[in-house]
Structure 1
């Protein structure tokens, strides 16, 4: 019960014979205006029933109390959306997957960096979905969805990047899965275990193809570069996949949850996430870092390269993160692992030169995109390689969020627009 509503709650003046309460009392218990109360009804947060005689509406007091305990949603006129800074409502989506706190982050309460240092991508994904750690688990693509995904991805123009192929591969794989509309937990998990290896194996091989059913990181490596893999490099790639599984409600994850809220199937949820990933401020950030590092290597120093970014008023790629005051913990682990890869020495030195040079201008630290740029630039991978690693890894996170969202009230993530267009009454055009 909210403060100031006790004088209304204990009286029977506004209570019907069936125990339901009036609009005035329900609004008082929540501490909102009647129009805000009806906005909650339109958003599916409260149920209402017409009062006897047709005057006004009545509400279930238990449902009102439950909403009050959860924290009343922000009214439409003040809602700022998922990142608008409001303290209530769907701007604060309850999730038990990732916590970011004081330059560290945790998957279900376990340090994510420690997980990346101890387990493989498949093991962590399986644990995140089910709570059960299965040592040595491998994801294998079913023949029919994989064949459909390969045909569709191969039909794109030769100069298409790997992420474009992932987007169409998801849709093709969905058409070959007649059970995709079953949203039970076991069915969704089955789709997830099949979809992730399908995405990887649908990419055309850049080097020697790896056998089906082998470690996912090894198979992804062969799709991103023709250079032979070594254990140290594969360790970096596998750790990167683990670290990128989830990072709270990033733009792509929010898009995935909105789709799941509408009860979209898991393939459509992943498609929504991939759509939001297609932007320079999210998934493509590692490509910008890759290009910058290549230029630093070509010019022999970070100084002139950083100067050009500053002169143009542009952000220096791979530096700074809104959630971390210090170094991104994901970058810290990847740099440590990259130190053990001889081929990465040049790009790693270039990245550290960028950080040191930029520090004279502002106290920004390396983020995960800079580390991905070092991996791709030093391994003969295409510019889009970091985004590809991001997309494959985050697919596991989107599925985890979908499983959570399927357990919530449908269509709860439906904010009301604040209309600021012309007022009604304009003549017909």
Structure 2
């Protein structure tokens, strides 16, 4: 490559050049491998100014990365890291496509935040609608489950049932995936049974997803302030970088699983007590605090039993979880939430005597569910419905990557071969 080509086309705009080290990092290889690519004609180089080292065209390097499959860089802690343009968490804040996520959730309905996450466009007034065939199948499947099943069980079954009615589910084009997502999320909500004691009333046609979800969570009549808290919670929880369930969803998408299967993978991980189910533990704790008249004996019981106090601390935030702060502020405007909020503050204050832990979103979800007479698992339901949109966003991103790139190599620790065949424990059938 000539110096003129290296400098650009003469218009004053220089081509983006990378050093050998930068090229190796982008390709996920050693510097020696970069020069091997050059010798094989897979990559061209030019001498750096001053004759020290080589430089490489960034576009050509990216094209090679797509052909060969780039390896993602490791995080500073040595954990796997994957490039994503969806969510950034830094300085005790988090952002959806560069926009403050708490501001988005406060000012826009859940469906609008989902569209922003999927498309980078704000589509005001967006509403999702469940197709009749998918909804009928999902309701039949959910209705056949035992009465004791939890909401996540019902959601998993509803996803599978809805998938069977969508002949286009294997179309992984962007518009097809978005079409499936816009129909799946309201189908999941509508397939859930109404809360015990509900009079069977349904949200009016065209109602937002939060208002559709409310009667599935509580028999208490919906009021605007409470529905706004629920809608904001849905918006806040849509995504949170590569949480465990999101990583599972991306692994499924890496294998080009259809979006329903991606959501199923996410739901399978979400049910763990350290993830989506954590708010249920916080709900039971707050209920006990209210019953016993203070947090001290409840916190003491948790610590005496060797259990962590639910709803406190987050590995990604040094201060209070911004999602929790946002929901607490909204709940402060709901008069009946005052006792639950006081109980939550009591838990934080009591625990702070020996551990400087701040409230996380699970404690805020618990304050919402306790004050609204919801079941303990309601926070998990909100989490699952909301995060479905995030899993779809990550699936869309992953479909554009090299397939099956998430294939770690096992570090074998078993006995070294060859080992003798195991001895017979019975008589071989004749």
TM-score range, shorter chain: 0.7 to 0.9
Runs of 4 or more, structure 1, over 6 Å off, are 3-12, 61-65
Structure 2 CA distance for partners of 1:280 and 1:101, relative to 1, 3 Å? same
- Per the alignment, residue 110 of structure 1 pairs with 99
Which runs of 5 or more residues in structure 1 are unaligned? 22-28, 30-60
Matched position secondary structure for 2:94: strand
- Residues 182-197 of structure 1: pairs in structure 2 closer than 5 A: 182-197=171-186
Q: Deviations for 1:51-84, whole angstroms, at most 9, x for unmatched residues?
A: xxxxxxxxxx9689748x998657xxxx8xxx89
Does residue 1:347 correspond to 2:368, yes or no?
no
Matched position secondary structure for 1:422: coil
C-alpha distance in structure 2 between counterparts of 1:409 and 1:261, whole Å? 8
Matched position secondary structure for 2:147: coil
Q: Deviations for 1:77-129, whole angstroms, at most 9, x for unmatched residues?
A: xx8xxx89327xxx220000000001100000000011011100001101211
Deviates more, 1:140-149 or 1:304-313: 304-313
C-alpha distance in structure 1 between counterparts of 2:400 and 2:107, whole Å? 30
C-alpha deviation, 1:209, in angstroms: 2.0
C-alpha distance in structure 2 between counterparts of 1:84 and 1:295, whole Å? 40
- Per the alignment, residue 42 of structure 1 pairs with none
- Residues 96-107 of structure 1: pairs in structure 2 closer than 5 A: 96-107=85-96
Count residues with an aligned counterpart: 378
- Per the alignment, residue 408 of structure 1 pairs with 401
- Per the alignment, residue 148 of structure 1 pairs with 137
C-alpha deviation, 1:375, in angstroms: 0.7
- Per the alignment, residue 84 of structure 2 pairs with 95
C-alpha distance in structure 1 between counterparts of 2:39 and 2:369, whole Å? 66
C-alpha distance in structure 1 between counterparts of 2:233 and 2:372, whole Å? 14
C-alpha deviation, 1:327, in angstroms: 0.4
Select which of 5, 9, 21 maps to 1:2: 21
Aligned CA RMSD, in angstroms, stands at: 2.7
C-alpha distance in structure 1 between counterparts of 2:381 and 2:244, whole Å? 17
C-alpha distance in structure 2 between counterparts of 1:271 and 1:70, whole Å? 27
Matched position secondary structure for 2:88: strand
C-alpha distance in structure 2 between counterparts of 1:217 and 1:346, whole Å? 24
Does residue 1:136 correspond to 2:125, yes or no?
yes
Select which of 219, 241, 247 maps to 1:226: 219
Would you say the 8 A contact 1:203–1:223 is kept in 2?
yes
- TM, length-normalised to structure 2: 0.83
C-alpha distance in structure 2 between counterparts of 1:396 and 1:9, whole Å? 39
C-alpha deviation, 1:132, in angstroms: 1.6
- TM, length-normalised to structure 1: 0.83
Q: Deviations for 1:336-386, whole angstroms, at most 9, x for unmatched residues?
A: 000011111111110011011111111100000000001111111111100
Structure 2 CA distance for partners of 1:410 and 1:303, relative to 1, 3 Å? same
C-alpha distance in structure 1 between counterparts of 2:362 and 2:376, whole Å? 12
Structure 2 CA distance for partners of 1:360 and 1:144, relative to 1, 3 Å? same
Structure 2 CA distance for partners of 1:118 and 1:9, relative to 1, 3 Å? closer
Select which of 409, 413, 416 maps to 1:420: 413
Does residue 1:335 correspond to 2:328, yes or no?
yes
- Per the alignment, residue 46 of structure 1 pairs with none
C-alpha distance in structure 2 between counterparts of 1:124 and 1:402, whole Å? 17
C-alpha deviation, 1:321, in angstroms: 0.3
Would you say the 8 A contact 1:140–1:212 is kept in 2?
no
C-alpha distance in structure 2 between counterparts of 1:397 and 1:187, whole Å? 16
- Per the alignment, residue 45 of structure 1 pairs with none
Structure 2 CA distance for partners of 1:85 and 1:142, relative to 1, 3 Å? same
Does residue 1:362 correspond to 2:362, yes or no?
no
Select which of 322, 325, 328 maps to 2:318: 325
